[in-house]
Amino acid sequence: MENFIVSARKYRPASFDMVVGQDTITNTLKSAIRNKHLAHAYLFCGPRGVGKTTCARIFAKTINCINLGPDGDACDKCESCISFSSQRSFNIHELDAASNNKVEDIRSLNDQVRIPPQVGKYSIYIIDEVHMLSSSAFNAFLKTLEEPPPHAIFILATTEKHKIIPTILSRCQIFDFNRIRIEDIVNRLQFVAKNEGIEAEEEALHVIGQKADGAMRDALSIFDQIVSLCGKSITYKNVIENLNVLDYEYFFKTIQGALEGNVSSVLLTFNEILEKGFDGHNFISGLNSHLRDLLVCKDESTIKLLEATPAIRQLYLKQTASASSDFLFRSLETGSACELSYKASKNPRLHVELALIRLCRINAESYGDLEKKKSEQVINQEEELPVPSRSNTARQIEKTSEDVRAVEPAQKPVHEPKIEKQVRSVSIKDLLNSGNQSPDAGHTDKPASASGISERQAGDLQVLTPELLEKSWADFTELLNGEGPRIVSMFKAISPVLENNKTIIIHLSNATQKDTFVQYYKQRLINHLERKYIMNEIDIETVVDVNETNNTIYSDEQKYNYLFNKYPILKDVKKTFNLDLN
């Protein structure tokens, strides 16, 4: 029976060009060899399976090659290269620091460094997992690492750079290896599959690349595992079953149900996932990743962040077109909160189901609900004077301070009557004819109003009278029934006055009502009146009435008596907090 060699060993790179996903590092090393600009110590660090030890071996072989190629690669024909390939080179020494981490081991290495190479120019010492050395071993290694013999070059490799002491780091050239991209892993797996005569679906290899988490060695090991199961044909279905990976179709189906607000469909999908033996935490984590991929597909400039095959990418683009950015943001927020608190939940299934129900309700808010929220924000700006009670003592104190300012007008008046007139454009023709025309004349060519009403002839409009104004005010108030009882009460309490057929006076109780009216309702009132009446020469003025004020300066006791009569709860406040009139 032929001995089987795993793909990670069989297809281990033998030259810099075969190294996957580390082009920047390999180009730097090749350039250093060509220019004979070699350092005495290198540190290769990065996650597992990304090619640290492999690059160290290729670098060591290339340094001693007698016939270097023009691009800086080894010839693989000279005595040094042949001895390296047959694993009998006396110039390259590998040391596993995990099992040789004592001071005695490093002292033995220091003695060995003094021996010059038998063939070639350099003796290369590769120390793998160098972070496993003890503190004493590091200290014993410092002097040799700083000033080695001219023929000695050290290549240190580690997966945990943070565990190496700074004095070692400062003596090395540091190369940080990156995780290998899924696209590069898939391309390498396709190369291996082609050489082995194996047919593999691209989606299946993509799943292997995702499972490998950026490690080429892990990807090749998973590939061998799948080949053992499937033989010469690798399919997407076989891969997800063997690796216990959740099919992406479940995520598409879940988000589609959430977009439609179909709670039943989403919960049944989650139940099907649980019945297949998948964990709820893995599902919610995968769903968050799916939402992230949908979000990056929203913008053409970020589509490149999606690591997927062309066929799967089209599915993402199709679903993201039907999902708003607000839905994706809020869904990610809900999913992330569920994932963070999953392990702390005593009922994990219910915890995930509640999160899925929240996803289904995101699109349930209609435009009317949003308008209602805006209206409530406007209403909350009004001045509010609730009936005093013991439960809102702190609130009453704030209202009391406002009334104190209202009682002492001589010192700091609260409001003075202000009149705000609407600025309207006046034509030269109107100015010339204003002396000999009545208010209802000269409107044959009435300009369009601010609300965009088309021009009308004078015969289509009525002249506004106090009686018509009162009726129109009542009609306008009826139109505001959907905006809250406080707004309706405010308008019912107002009695507009038409003075000299020129000005509509609106008397308001306070500055807050005035601001609300001017900002949100004045233009709407003008539009309402312009539909029926001639408004070209009629202005609307708002007047704030100041009541209960005079020029008398009150004493502290008079202020207290006034406020006590208005708010009896002040007596309890004074007693509770032991307040003094002064």
Taking CA atoms, 17 is separated from 12, 14, 59, 124, 207, in Å, by 12, 8, 12, 21, 25
Report the distance separating Cα 415 and Cα 328, nearest Å: 48
Domain 182-243 -> CATH class: mainly alpha
The reply to whether CATH 1.10.150.120 applies to domain 248-364 is no
Assess whether pLDDT exceeds 90 at residue 509.
no
Q: Does this model's pTM top 0.95?
A: no
Q: Are strands 199-200 and 173-176 parallel, antiparallel or unpaired?
A: unpaired
- The pLDDT tens digits of the residues spanning 327-372 come to 999 999 999 999 999 989 999 999 999 999 999 988 875 344 555 5
182 vs 191: CA distance, rounded Å:
14
Residue pLDDT, tens place only, 392-445: 444 554 554 455 444 444 444 444 444 444 444 444 445 444 444 444 434 434
> CB–CB of 417/559 below 8 Å?
no
Extract the tokens encoding 402: 């406002």
How many other CB atoms are found less than 10 A from the CB of residue 372? Answer: 15
Are the C-beta atoms of 81 and 113 separated by less than 8 Å? Answer: no
Report the C-alpha gap between 529 and 468 in whole angstroms: 10
Q: Which of 476, 437, 442, 475 lies closest to 461 in space, CA to CA?
A: 442
Phi, psi of 538, rounded to the nearest 5 degrees: -110, 125
Task: Kindly list the strands in the beta sheet with 92-96, ordered across the sheet, starting from the edge strand earlier in the chain.
Answer: 92-96, 123-128, 152-158, 41-45, 173-176
Q: Tens digit of pLDDT for each residue in 263-288?
A: 999 999 999 999 988 889 999 999 99
Ranges 130-144, 164-178, 559-573: which has the least confidence = 559-573
Half-sphere exposure (Cβ direction) of 397: Cα atoms closer than 13 Å? 11
| Backbone conformation region of residue 155, classed left if phi is above 0, alpha if psi is from -120 to 50, else beta | beta
Higher pLDDT, 295 or 388: 295
Banded model confidence at residue 455, pLDDT cuts 50, 70, 90: very low
Q: How far apart are CA 450 and CA 457, in angstroms?
A: 17
What pLDDT was estimated at residue 423?
A: 42
User: 203 and 237 in contact (C-beta within 8 Å)?
Assistant: no
User: How confident is residue 289, by pLDDT bands cut at 50, 70 and 90?
Assistant: very high
Q: Give dist(CA 234, CA 231) in Å, integer.
A: 7
| Tokens 């290495």 sit on residue | 109
Q: What is the CATH number of domain 7-176?
A: 3.40.50.300
Measure Cα distances from 474 to 114, 479, 494 in Å: 105, 9, 10
**What percent of the chain is predicted at pLDDT more than 70?**
80
- The three-class DSSP label of residue 158 is strand
Question: Alpha-carbon distance 210 to 312, whole Å?
Answer: 14
Own/partner long-range contacts of 339-346 (Cβ < 8 Å, ≥24 apart)? 339/281, 339/284, 339/285, 339/288, 342/280, 342/281, 342/284, 343/281
CA–centroid distance for 100 within its chain:
47
- State the sign of the Cα–Cα–Cα–Cα dihedral 14, 15, 19, 22: positive
Contact 221, 208 (CB under 8 A): no
Q: Please state, in angstroms and rounded to a whole number, the distance separating the CA atoms of residues 264 and 463.
A: 61
At 465 the pLDDT is 83
Smallest CA-to-CA distance from 147 within 171, 182, 115, 163 is with: 171
Region label for 46, one of left (φ > 0), alpha (ψ between -120 and 50) or beta (otherwise): left
pLDDT of residue 420: 44
Q: Are 145 and 154 in contact (CB under 8 A)?
A: yes
Nearest to 342 by CA among 268, 286, 275, 267: 286
CA distance 52 to 45: 7
What's the pLDDT at 111? 87
pLDDT in tens, 298-339: 888 888 888 888 888 888 999 998 888 889 999 999 999 999
- Residue 497 forms beta bridges with which residues? 505
d(CA 144, CA 142) in angstroms, rounded, equals 6
342, 274 Cβ separation under 8 angstroms: no
Give CA–CA dist 7/205, Å, rounded.
Answer: 15
The pLDDT of residue 457 is 47
pLDDT band at 470 (very low <50, low <70, confident <90, very high): confident
pLDDT at 356: 93
For residues 316, 321, 324, 329, the Cα torsion angle rounded to the nearest 10 degrees is 20
Find, among 537, 518, 533, 525, the residue nearest to 479 by Cα: 525
Q: Where are the domains of the chain?
A: 7-176, 182-243, 248-364, 419-544
Spatial separation of the C-alpha atoms in residues 84 and 287, rounded to whole Å: 49
Task: Show the tokens assigned to 334.
Answer: 């809900």
Contact predicate 29/71, CB 8 Å? no
> In angstroms, rounded to a whole number, what is the distance separating the alpha carbons of residues 164 and 156?
11
Please name the helix (run of DSSP H) or strand (run of DSSP E) that holds residue 551, with its range, or none: none
| Residues 414 and 406: beta-carbon distance below 8 Å | yes
First to last CA, the chain: 105
